Each structure stands twice: as C-alpha cells, then as structure tokens.
Amino acid sequence: MSDSATGGGTTADMPVTDEKSRRDFLLISTASVGVVGTALACWPLIHAMNPAADTLALASTEVDLAPVQQGQSITVVWRGKPVFIRHRTADEIKTAEAVPMDKLIDPEADSKRVKKPQWLIMVGVCTHLGCIPLGQKPNDPHGEFGGWFCPCHGSHYDTSGRIRKGPAPRNLEIPTYQFVSDTLIRIG
Amino acid sequence: MAAKSYSNPIVKWIEYRLPIFSFLDHELNEYPTPKNLNYWWNFGSLAGIVLVIMILTGIVLAMSYTPHVDYAFESVERIMRDVNYGWLLRYIHMNGGSMFFIIVYIHLFRGMYYGSYKAPRELLWIIGVVILLAMMATAFMGYVLPWGQMSFWAATVITNLFSAVPLVGESIVTWLWGGFSVDNPTLNRFFSLHYLLPFVIFALVFVHLWALHVHKSNNPVGVDIKGPQDTIPFHPYYTIKDTFGLGVFMIFFMFFVFFAPNFFGEPDNYIKANPLVTPSHIVPEWYFLPYYAILRAITFDIWFVPAKLIGVVAMFGSILILLFLPWLDRSRVRSATFRPVYKQVFWVFVVDCFILGWVGANTPDAEFHGVKMLWIGQAATFYYFFHIVILIPLISVMETPKALPASISQAVTPGGKS
Amino acid sequence: MTGTRKRRALALAVAVALALAAGAAMAAEGSKPPEQKWSFDGLFGTYDRAAAQRGFLVYNTVCAACHGLSLVAYRNLAGVGFKEEEIKAIAAAKEVPDGPNDQGEMFARPGRPADRFARPFANDNAARAANNGALPPDLSLITKARKGGADYLYALLTGYKEPPTGMTMMEGMQYNAYFPGNQIAMLPPLAEGGVEYADGTKATVQQMAHDVSTFLTWAAEPEMEERKRMGVKVLLFLIVLTAMLYAMKRQIWTDVH
C-alpha cells in the first residue's frame, strides 16, 4: 500500500526518516483507534439480534406437579417447545430400569434421565426430524415399548423416552430442570 | 491514462474479470479534485454515510418491529426496553433522520451559494432534488410507523391533501389509505415502502456520484479545472478531510443520541394513536415545517381554484421550483464569492427559510408581537417564490460580477502563478 | 475574509430563528412548570434508588387503581433495586388474565415476574365507564409524553388549588394550575400521609409527588443510566479520535497549504 503523501518541500530542514516515522505513527495509531471504534459500533447491531430481555424472561417455566396423577401425562410449553411430564407407575419404572444397555440404540440408564424416578420430564420433540411423538393421552398409540410413538417416520420410544426402534438417533432430550419443592419444578 | 497493473495474483484474477480495483483506484484514489475545496464540501460524503447508518439501523430495527396497528406502538417500546441495545438503535435511527436533513439542507444551500447547479452540473442538481423528494417520502412514512398520536394525525392531514386534486382527488386518497381512513392497511404499506425507498435513494446516490465524476466537483471560486495544477488526488487529501469531518459530525450526532434523544421530537408521539382524539397542536417533524407553513399560507381561492389546491401546489412547487434553478440563474459566474449582490440576497433567502420553519411550528392563529403569524407566513412564502422566480433571474442578468481569477491555482497560490 | 462574515451571518440567522421559535412555543402552551432538581438531571444523572422505590409504593398504592403501567414488566423492578423475592411478591399480589384453559375459558392467575403490570381495567371502555367518561392514561411513558416531563408531573400533582374568582368549573372537574385548560377530571390523588414509607421518610404531598415522578421517569426511560454512561464514553472516544484525525489532516495537507 503506497503512502501517497507527496514530497514535502517546505519541511526541508527535518530529516526525511523522522518526518516519515511520525507520519506513520499518526496513521497507525489513528487507524487503530478508528478500527476499534468501528468494531465497537458494530456490536449493538449484532447483539440486538440475540434474544431480547422478555424472551429471556420466559426462558424458564415453573410447573406445579401436584395435580398430575400416577399414570397421567401432561404437556407444557417451554421455550416454544412441548415438554412431556409423566407421573410414571411402578411398572413403568421397573420396565425402564430393566432394559440392558446393549439393547439400546442410544445407551443411557434410566436413572440418568430422571431426578425422581416417578417423574419423567423430557422435551417432546422426536430426535429424528422434529415431529411431536404420540403417547401423552391414554388412547394414543404408545409404540411397541409402552412409551411414545412418532407417527411421522415410525420411531418407538420406551417408558424412559429412549429410542428403541425406528430412524431417530437419540433418546428424547431431558431439559435442565430442578425441583423447587416436592411438587414444583422449574424447567430451564 | 496508464492502466495500473497489480502484483497480487488474486487481485489480477478478479481485475481481469471485473475491473473493480482499477475502477476504485480511478474514482476514489487518484480522482482529481479541486485543491481549494472548503469544509462546505464535506456534507456530500456525510450524507452518504448517514444513509448507510440509517439503512443498517433500520434493518435491525425492522427485525423487531410489527407493522400492525394493534402492535406497532408496543413493538417500538419493546425495542426500547427489551431488545439488546434496542434503545440505542432506535435513538440513532430517530435522530439520524434529523441529522440527514440538516446535512442535506446545508449541502443544498452550499450548491445554491457556489452555483454548483450551473452548467454542466444541471443533471447532478436535478438528481439531488429527486433524492430530496425520496428522502421526504421516506421520512414521512417512517414517522408514521411508531403509530403515536403525531404519526397518525400527520398521516391523516398529509394524505388528505391529495383530495385537493380535481376530479380524482378522493379516489386517490382512498387508494393511498387502502380504506376510508388511515388505518392498518395504510400502516402496513407505509412500512413496505419505507423499507424500499432507502434502497431507491441508494441507487439515486450512485447515479448522483456518477454524474459528479463526469465533470468533477465545483469549487469555492467557481472556476473550472484547467489542468493538474488545479487538482489534488482525492486520496489521501479528501479521504482524511472527509474522515475528520465525519468525526466532528459524529460528536454532534452522538451528543443528541445519548444526552438529548428527544430534542427533535414531539412528546405527543409517545401517546398511542387514537383516531377519535386529535392533538391540540398537530406539527410535522422540524424538517417539514417550512413546507407546512407554505401550505397553510394559502387561505384564499383564486378564481375557481380552491385555496386547498393552491396550497398543495405551492407546497410541492416550493421543492419542484428548485429543479429550474440552473435555468433561472443566468449569471455567467458560478460562485457567489464573485457576485456581490447575489451574495447578500442569498442570506436573506436563508433567513426566509428559517422564518418559514418558525411559522410552520406555530398555530395558524398565533401572533408575534401583535402581528398575525398567518401574515408573516404569507409574506415569507411570497418572498420564497419571489426570490427564486424573480430575484435570481433579475440579479443574474443585471449584476456586475467581480473579476474571476484565471484559475484555481491562481486563486489559491499567494504568488499568483497559474 | 468573507468566510468569517458568512459564518457569522449564518450563526446569527440560526440564533434568531431558534430564539423566535422558543419564544413562540412557550406562548402557545399553558404556564411553564417550575424546574425541579432531579437526581437524574445532567450528563451524569442517575435514578435515586430510594426515591424510585418510594415512588413505586405511591404508584402501587394510589395510582394503580386507575392508571396502568402496561409497558413495564414486574421483572424490570430490579432496575430500581428490588430483589427477586420482593418482585415475586409484588407480582403475585396482582392477578393477570391467562388462558384459555382446557375448558376454553379465560381465567385469572397470580402475576409472575415475567408478566407486564396488571391493568386496572380490561379495556378503555371499562376505564371510562368507571371514571365518568374520563380515561386515566397509562403511565408507562407519561414523562416522555408530556411537555416538561418530570417537572410537569410534579407541578400537576402539587398544583391543585381553589379556582380563581370568576372562573366556573365544569361539572365534576377540579382546578389545576398546570393541566392544559386548567380543568382536570382527576381528584387530587395525593394527601399527606396517604402512604407509609418503609424507610420512615415523611409522606408529605411534595415528597410523594417527587418520589412518584422519579419512579415514573424511570418507568418511561429505564435505559437512561446506561445511556448516559455509554454517552460519556462514546463522546470522549470520539473527541480523542477526531483530534487525532485533525492532526493527520493537517499533516497530510502541509504541502498543499
């Protein structure tokens, strides 16, 4: 890049290298300050596209579990997605715990998927291509493993929400949640 | 003209297929610019930069704005309160609009003073006036989008003006509204057009610069470029001068954004639009005030032509008349520096424009020290047209201009060498 | 040099125009509210947290019965220094509409921090019906929506007086020295001791007016402190950068001058 300042005839007294290095210093320092300023100015334009405060405020949802009977499932919305909450029966828990790891497409122990075994909480979105599996209502098909069945491409999930048969690659996702009390959870 | 050759192989590859590098070199780098330009010549590049700022902030704002009457006002407040840096983007966009007009008006007055509209730059000037009209349409529609009281009522008043058109006026208004009053269809289409027009302006600016580069810039002395001794390359001289000017402008601009963001605005626009309640004092944004004054100045019918129609014609006419300036001004001398009579009268015109703005801000029945605002407005409107249509041609023909320097070099070099 | 004369003439024209505009604008409105001292004035102003919290109490106790604050969310109260538990309690004390439930009905439930402030009336018509046809405005933006801002609000709240002799009041209207037209439908909202401040400050009318004006200014402009802080940094940066650019400009132009 040529520094195209034309020869300064009037500053003949000053050694050329001194003048040039002063010029360069000023150019480099000003340009750096300018570049930093421009980058800082671009940040608001980019950050404005990140989730806004009201979106973040809805990032966690509290759910009261008290009305959910044993053997009953409810669906709540969290971050725009359905979350399946099932109050599992003792049979369902036993079946889930008894499955050996080598029979699983995505091996994961039931105990790793729940905090309290009678409460199964998972994101109700099929890990194949995103449909919502059936199985929340008593009359719904539950697939061959007693859990959930995705009608779009035939994925079968068991009583722990793990993929057992079909194209889905992973078990139904467990969201971050915590028990605020015995009957109140906060998801997210 | 020597074709520049590049050493970098990637640059060479692109250059062979699309000569963008030599183009930029010629038009920005070596581009010969008069060596005597003063700071009044900074405002063109400033306008271009503000246009880019408006487009960038506008695009990100549009990601969070909802153009529906039930949601528009709240969506703007969501931007102010919840969107990260939303308040900053909104205030930059809002104040940027005012800045854009300050810059463009100064740019325009520069052109009038130094005769930049004269041959061979008539088309450059005309494109500029078209850009101004597009800016006004954009700003008008943009102001409607927050759907405040002023947004709604300014839209109602200005769209109603078109009913003055004989025969088809009412149909035009219904067509503009998409209904029987300013309502959701109007808001939605204003959003669409407000998003579109800045890109039309961008294209017009490109044509404006193209026209400029044919005959190069005018200069304070108004004497043509005679040779390379009159010019200096645009880079680095004017790139640094424009960047410095940009710095000064940004200080001015950012002061308003951060410390007086509502200075140019109206408190009434922070009230959600209510079609059943008219604000006590409908006032457009400051950059429209002079035209508003001209519109309201015509209160009398002429023959069979109703006052309302004359007012509308006068209002648009006040901008359209500028298109004829290159032909109304018959002086052989460009720059007012050498036109002793025109120079004084120019400042009278500037003051008249300020007076028109002040009149536009007041209610029509207000008085100033016992003098009716209406009369002041009418006098100022009369003078505006009198100045452009009568004074400028008369002065240009009758005035004896001062002797011009032989060249730019001669004008700026103390020794007077050409 | 003619340049200086030009500049002076232009400056004079601008000054004259601005002075005229300012004078004319003042004449058109009602009497100007007296200027108060606010903690948020000036380039370095901040919101007095204690005053804003007291102001919230005034709003919640006195104003919220008729005036909504629907653009503010309960979680925003963290901006005036309330803690998470306090905010949850404030929100839960009010009911917000929700639904439809599985039966298809809309229902009311206790507020949560993410909710916006509960509206006192379901809609404008209900508000008018409850207030003799007058519509109590939402206060979320009131200090930005009125000329004079917080000064005007304070003047209004403390401006209730006996009407001057000879003036007939319309039915149901009160005299207020600062409300445009001087006749306001709202009864004087503040009375001495109307609110009990937790920090022991005496709840005079002036104190409550001052506190609620501070709170409502915050409600209209919660970003103000960040805006001014950023503004100081941005302007300092720009001044430094512009000075450097000027030095560069002078240097590059030495051979031309």
Q: Choose the catalytic residue: B217, B331, B407, B409.
A: B217
Q: Hey, are the CB atoms on B82 and A47 less than 8 Å from each other? A: no
User: Measured between CB atoms, which of C10, C147, C241 is closest to B247?
Assistant: C241
* pLDDT digits (tens), chain B, 418 positions: 445 788 999 999 999 999 999 999 999 999 999 999 999 999 999 999 999 999 999 999 999 999 999 999 999 999 999 999 999 999 999 999 999 999 999 999 999 999 999 999 999 999 999 999 999 999 999 999 999 999 999 999 999 999 999 999 999 999 999 999 999 999 999 999 999 999 999 999 999 999 999 999 999 999 999 999 999 999 999 999 999 999 999 999 999 999 999 999 999 999 999 999 999 889 999 999 999 999 999 999 988 899 999 999 999 999 999 999 999 999 999 999 999 999 999 999 999 999 999 999 999 888 889 899 999 999 999 999 999 999 999 999 999 999 999 988 888 877 544 4
pLDDT at C8: 57
Cis link prior to B393 (omega < 30° from 0)?
no
Q: What average pLDDT does the segment A170-175 reach?
A: 95
Chain C residues in contact with chain A using a Cβ-Cβ cutoff of 8 Å: 73, 75, 112-114, 237-238, 240-241, 244-245, 247-248, 251-252, 254-255
Give the ipTM of the model, two decimals please: 0.92
User: Hey, how many other C-beta atoms are within 10 angstroms of the C-beta on B187?
Assistant: 24
* Chain C hits for A29, Cβ within 8 Å: 244
pLDDT at A80: 87
- What are the distances in angstroms from CA B346 to CA A13, B136, C3, C37, C227? 47, 24, 14, 45, 41
Taking the Cβ of residue B369 and every Cβ of chain A, the question of whether any pair is shorter than 8 Å is answered with no
User: Measured between CB atoms, which of B56, B83, B235 is closest to A52?
Assistant: B83
Nearest CA in chain B to C246: B244
Give the position of tokens 């004896």.
B400
* Residues 113-142 (B) with a CB less than 8 A from some CB of A: none
Q: Choose the catalytic residue: B213, B216, B272, B387.
A: B213
B217 is catalytic: yes
Distance CA C210, CA C154 (A): 6
Residues of chain C with pLDDT under 50: 1, 19-29
Q: Which chains touch B (3 or more CB pairs under 8 A)?
A: A, C
pTM for the model: 0.89
pLDDT at B411: 83
* Chain C hits for A7, Cβ within 8 Å: 255
When scoring B40, B270, B287 by the number of chain C Cβ atoms within 10 A, the one with the most, hence best to mutate, is B270
Q: Choose the catalytic residue: B15, B230, B285, B329.
A: B285
**pLDDT band of A12, cuts 50, 70, 90:** low
- What are the distances in angstroms from CA B177 to CA B145, B171, B271, C176? 14, 10, 22, 40
B226 is catalytic: no
Q: Hey, are the CB atoms on B258 and C24 less than 8 Å from each other? A: no
Q: Hey, are the CB atoms on C227 and B87 less than 8 Å from each other? A: yes
The CB-side HSE value for C104 (13 A sphere, CA atoms) comes to 0
Give the position of tokens 């308040």.
B87
Nearest CA in chain A to C251: A23
Taking the Cβ of residue C7 and every Cβ of chain B, the question of whether any pair is shorter than 8 Å is answered with no
B352 is catalytic: no
State pLDDT tens for residues A24-71. Answer: 888 999 999 999 999 999 999 999 999 999 988 887 888 889 999 999
User: Hey, how many other C-beta atoms are within 10 angstroms of the C-beta on B213?
Assistant: 14
User: Measured between CB atoms, which of B87, B237, B251 is closest to C238?
Assistant: B251
State pLDDT tens for residues C32-84. Answer: 899 999 999 999 999 999 999 999 999 999 999 999 999 999 999 999 999 99
User: Hey, how many other C-beta atoms are within 10 angstroms of the C-beta on C232?
Assistant: 13
**Distance to chain C for B9, nearest Cα, Å:** 31
Q: Hey, are the CB atoms on B63 and A50 less than 8 Å from each other? A: no
Rounded (to 5) percent helix, strand, coil in chain B: 70, 5, 30
B417 is catalytic: no
Taking the Cβ of residue C242 and every Cβ of chain B, the question of whether any pair is shorter than 8 Å is answered with yes
Is residue C213 within 8 Å of C154, Cβ to Cβ? yes
Q: Which chains touch A (3 or more CB pairs under 8 A)?
A: B, C
User: Measured between CB atoms, which of C20, C21, C235 is closest to B251?
Assistant: C235
For A119, residues 6+ apart whose C-beta sits below 8 A from its C-beta are A65, A85, A86, A87, A88, A185
Q: Are strands B371-372 and B367-368 parallel, antiparallel or unpaired?
A: antiparallel
Q: Which chains touch C (3 or more CB pairs under 8 A)?
A: A, B
Q: Is the pLDDT of residue A144 over 50?
A: yes
Lowest mean pLDDT segment, chosen from A1-5, A10-14, B371-375: A1-5
Distance CA B4, CA A116 (A): 75
Is residue C29 within 8 Å of C180, Cβ to Cβ? yes
Q: What residue type is C241 in one-letter code?
A: L
* Chain B hits for C146, Cβ within 8 Å: 267
User: Measured between CB atoms, which of A8, A11, A30 is closest to C248?
Assistant: A30
* Chain A hits for C244, Cβ within 8 Å: 26, 29-30, 33
Taking the Cβ of residue A2 and every Cβ of chain B, the question of whether any pair is shorter than 8 Å is answered with no
Is residue C32 within 8 Å of C177, Cβ to Cβ? no
User: Measured between CB atoms, which of B29, B60, B64 is closest to A45?
Assistant: B60
